[in-house]
Amino acid sequence: MKSLYILLGTLSLALGIIGIFLPLLPTTPFLLLTATLYTRSSPRLYNWLLRQKHLGNYIRNFRENRAIPLKAKIISVSLIWITILNCVIFIVPYWWLNILFLLVAVGTSYHILSFKTLK
């Protein structure tokens, strides 16, 4: 089971890191899942994850405060809207799909903004 948890944790970590750059792929849930899986499989990997310069702070802040830094909120919501509006205006020709994209942007923005802001 430990090997499976390590494998799934590493996959979750990869998706979380990719989510930093892709606006619609959530970073926080994948990083929290990684922390949970590493806790159950390898204290060494869990400690390594928490010692990471950027990811460790991100996980600790969210776990302890249930809050997202203002800079992260601004960047993620901005990237979501830039990406979605680019798709709606220039790429997708179907009106119903454009409406779906806009609803996804509204929903994810609301979700991100619903968390407390870490100061």
- Amino acid (1-letter code) at residue 103: L
- Give yes or no for residue 63 having a pLDDT over 90: no
**Which tens digits make up the pLDDT trace of 16-35?**
899 888 766 778 778 888 99
Pairwise pLDDT comparison (119 vs 85), residue with the higher score? 85
Longest CA pairwise span in the chain (Å): 50
**Do 79 and 113 belong together in one domain?**
yes
**Do 6 and 57 belong together in one domain?**
yes
**Do 91 and 114 belong together in one domain?**
yes
**Do 51 and 78 belong together in one domain?**
no
- Pick the last residue of a domain from 22, 46, 65: 65
Q: How many domains does the chain have?
A: 2
**Which tens digits make up the pLDDT trace of 69-113?**
888 888 888 888 998 999 999 999 999 999 999 999 999 899 889
